[in-house]
A and B are shown apart, each in its own frame.
Chain A
Amino acid sequence: MDESIRFLAAALAVGIAGLGTGWAQSRIGSAGAGAVAEKPEVTGTILILVALPETIVILGFVVAAMILFL
């Protein structure tokens, strides 16, 4: 039982963080697509901006790793 709860907790840590990242990236991505349509020279900057929220899921991954392995 304890094992299964640990796995569930780890899955939630990554899963919910992934949802948060996805939501943030969808907002940035749609705004970024508009910006790129008007100014194609900002494509690189927008790519970086889209990658920014991934920290959330990375932190979720770190928490999951701590739950599973520590």
Chain B
Amino acid sequence: MLVAMRRVDIVAPRRRGADVVRVVHRLGALHLAPFELPEGLTPGVFGVNPATPPGTPFDAALERVADLGELLGPRIGPGHLVDELWDLDPVALLREADALEPVRARVAALTGERVLLGSEEARLGSYRRLVEGLSSAIGHLPSIRGYGSTGIVVHTRYRAVIGLIRDELEELTGGRCEILAAEMDPDRVAAILLYPARVAEDVRALLGGRDLEEVALPEEFQGVPFDQLGPELGQEQSRVQVRLATVEAELAALSAAHGARVAALRDVLEDRVAEARALHDSGISDHLVILGGWLPAGRVAELRDALAAEVGPEVLVEERPHQGRDPRTPVAFENQPFLRAFEPLASFISMPRYGSLDPTPLLALTFPAFVGLMVADVGYGLLLLGLLLWARRRWRGEPLMGIVWPIGVLSAAATIGFGVLFGEWFGDAGQQFLGLGPVWLDRREAIVPLLVLAISIGVAQVGLGLVLGMVNAVLLRHRSELARRGALLVSLVAVLVIIGWLARLMPAVAGQVALAALLVALVVLVATAGLAGPIEVVGVLGNVLSYARLMAIGLASVMLALVANRLGGLPENVVLGVVVAAVIHALNLVLGFFDSSVQGLRLHYVEFFSKFVEPGGVRYEPFVSALARDGTRLPVRPSGGP
């Protein structure tokens, strides 16, 4: 269900505005609303807070601390440090930020040096590999002074470009040049160009237009004889690596010493900046400040008590009359723990509007059932369960597991249940080796009954959607929607009765009544939705037929499992047969669960939810401080619930 919300205005003396914001922030329950001018007052008397500048002294401090935090590596501020810093007064808090300035300067210098050393190390490594690649040719070269060199690397398929460069270089230097080329690896060819140092600029221009991977020799190695170049480059590279390791170690030490405090300080400064903005966006007059927003109905008393205790009796919390139809009212889910995993799925496309029905319980009931009906194999269900157990142990405590685990377990249970009903244990392997036949239907044979079952599920779910849509229309007082959805429901039932009449399964009277009802429903649809109204009937029938995928995808899954068993039985070698069958079953397992999940969701979003979920709800995002972000207290649920 959706949490009942209340719209409140907190009225306080202007001088206590900052204290009020702080209490509200600490409580973490109020979804702030933009200030609205009370009736009868002009903006000149009561406007958006003009006295507080949008920027705060905390902005600059936050920028510096956030910079330092990025350099030290992202992390979450530990709870006890956040607690300690949160209660500091502004001056003391800014002093904390200033105290970190020497650390910031040192970290920035080290980070800069790390970047330079890293690129230097990469450059030396490239040239060293190039020299090593050409070592056999270089060994025959005499030492030449006054000559410059440039290394280039080209893809093997473009090695012809080296010949072109040779021609141009000979022309440029009057033949006083040399090019040595050799394969570095199967894909790359390295070459060193030797030329008089005075034409270095011309050579660079010559290479620049060819988009080549150019490896420039470090300046200090210019003129070094080639037979010494490799070892000297190696020594220099080692020296750079040692320095790089020293810099990394110092950065790690600084991160260990200051990282936690920096992260906590950043969290607290972000809170102060958010509080300043909240105060700036509040309403203010010469004497009063008004902060408005929504919060769960059950927490209004808590807000009142907190404000009375920490600010005093001069603060009033005014509750506005219930505004159930206000589309700006934020939406939060409040469901039983095992349903909570489905809340993100229920709000995946759009949050339901406040005041409408929560689709989560229905999704939790039918989504796993649909997945189970489509996969329906005991073996696959047990494997999924095993994988989930492993994943739960591997990623214990991860928020995503809190969603994946319940959905996965319910889907696996449904898969096993339907697998027993259809007698499928890795396809027909259970039947062949253990004699475990179908309890209800054999999906390989009962194609028509399963098709009828799938379409019947469609009729039931689409019909239920239309009924719930009518309930939502009543709750939100949409008369035309009520009439439209009612007419669609009547049309659906009428069409089914007419089909039954034509198939001689129903008496003629029922068929004639249904025909009359269909005509009336079409008239209502034209009146409420225009000429597109009757087309919606076709859409609803298409929605119902769309549920045939429950059977079609299931049939594909069981057939692929049979193929796995047949192919696994073909080789005479038992091990090879088991491997072949296992590979195809693994493929079927992945495809089966992935496709079933996507199709199951699609049936809910497109066919079911479109009949009753009122989209466009605003997610409840309370004004929460860093105190609540600590995982041990006041957890904020991903779906936005309190």
Contact = CB atoms under 8 A, between A and B. Distances in A.
Contact of A45 (B349, B542, B546): B349
Interface in B404-454: 447-448, 451
Nearest to A68: B447
A61 to B, nearest CB: 5
Nearest to B594: A47
Interface string B200-213: 00000000000000
A19 interface: no
B557 interface: no
Interface in B584-607: 598-599, 601-602, 605-606
Interface in B526-573: 542, 545-546, 548-549, 552
A65 interface: yes
B548 A51 contact: no
Given A44-B348, A48-B602, A52-B606, A58 B451 contact: no
Interface in A48-70: 48, 51-52, 54-55, 58-59, 61-62, 65, 69-70
Contact of B448 (A45, A52, A55, A65): A65
Nearest to B550: A58
A55 B542 contact: yes
Contact of B552 (A48, A51, A52, A58): A58
A58 B545 contact: yes
Interface of B is mostly: helix
A62 B601 CA distance: 21
A65 B349 CA distance: 33
A54 B545 CA distance: 12
Contact of B601 (A48, A59, A61): A48
B349 A58 contact: no
A55 B598 CA distance: 13
A17 to B, nearest CB: 11
Contacts of B349: 45, 48
A69 B598 contact: no
Contacts of B598: 47-48, 51
Contact of B451 (A44, A55, A62): A62
Nearest to B605: A48
B447 A55 contact: no
A61 B605 contact: no
A65 B447 CA distance: 8
Contacts of A58: 545-546, 548-549, 552
Interface in B476-505: none
B545 A51 contact: no
Contacts of A62: 451, 545, 548
A49 to B, nearest CB: 9
B602 A51 contact: yes
A35 to B, nearest CB: 15
B606 A59 contact: no
A62 to B, nearest CB: 5
A59 B602 CA distance: 16
A58 B595 CA distance: 14
B448 A59 contact: no
Nearest to A57: B552
Interface in B324-371: 348-349
A59 B552 contact: no
A59 B545 contact: yes
A36 B236 CA distance: 45
B419 to A, nearest CB: 23
Contacts of A48: 349, 598, 601-602, 605-606
Interface of A: 44-45, 47-48, 51-52, 54-55, 58-59, 61-62, 65, 69-70
Interface of B: 348-349, 447-448, 451, 542, 545-546, 548-549, 552, 598-599, 601-602, 605-606
Given A45-B349, A62-B545, A62-B548, 18 more contacts: A44-B348, A47-B598, A48-B349, A48-B602, A48-B606, A54-B602, A55-B542, A55-B545, A55-B546, A55-B549, A58-B552, A59-B542, A59-B548, A61-B552, A62-B451, A65-B447, A69-B448, A70-B448
26 contacts: A44-B348, A47-B598, A48-B598, A48-B601, A48-B606, A51-B599, A51-B602, A54-B549, A55-B542, A55-B545, A55-B549, A58-B546, A58-B548, A58-B549, A59-B545, A59-B546, A59-B548, A61-B548, A61-B552, A62-B451, A62-B545, A65-B448, A65-B451, A69-B447, A69-B448, A70-B448
Q: Rank and list the top 4 A-B pairs by shortest CB-CB distance, nearest first.
A: A51-B602, A58-B549, A69-B448, A62-B548
